[in-house]
Amino acid sequence: MKKLAVLAILAIFVLGACYTQTHTVGAGPQTGETTEVRQWFILFGLIPLTEVDSQEMAAGATDYEIVTEMNLIDVVIGMFTQAVTVAPRTVTVTR
């Protein structure tokens, strides 16, 4: 029972950090082509280290979808980089 409780608490902390935000521009994706970039922040997400330009990632398309997420890969990377207050997130543009 204790193992299950510890596992549940660990899952809440690890999986609770995942999130996804989706923004649709115009009529949404038309071709299915995707571009993915990892964005980095310091001070636990307060100050961006890298700038992501979603319009540039859309390559001139007027209809596309932007997905900003902290997925499982970002959480795993963050486990190692949080000690120095660096946090990643993934930005995907689908044209």
Total domains in the fold of the chain: 1
pLDDT score for 5: 86
For 53-66, write each residue's pLDDT tens digit: 999 999 999 999 99
Within a domain: 70: yes
Based on the number of CB atoms within 10 Å of its own CB, is 35 exposed (0-12), middle (13-18) or buried (19 or more)?
middle
3-state secondary structure 13-37: HHHCCCEEEEEEECCCCCCCCEEEE
Backbone conformation region of residue 34, classed left if phi is above 0, alpha if psi is from -120 to 50, else beta: beta
Confidence of residue 15 (pLDDT cuts 50, 70, 90): low
Within a domain: 51: yes
Within a domain: 5: no
> Model pTM greater than 0.85?
no
In which domain, by residue range, is 62 found? Answer: 19-94
For 22-31, write each residue's pLDDT tens digit: 999 999 999 9
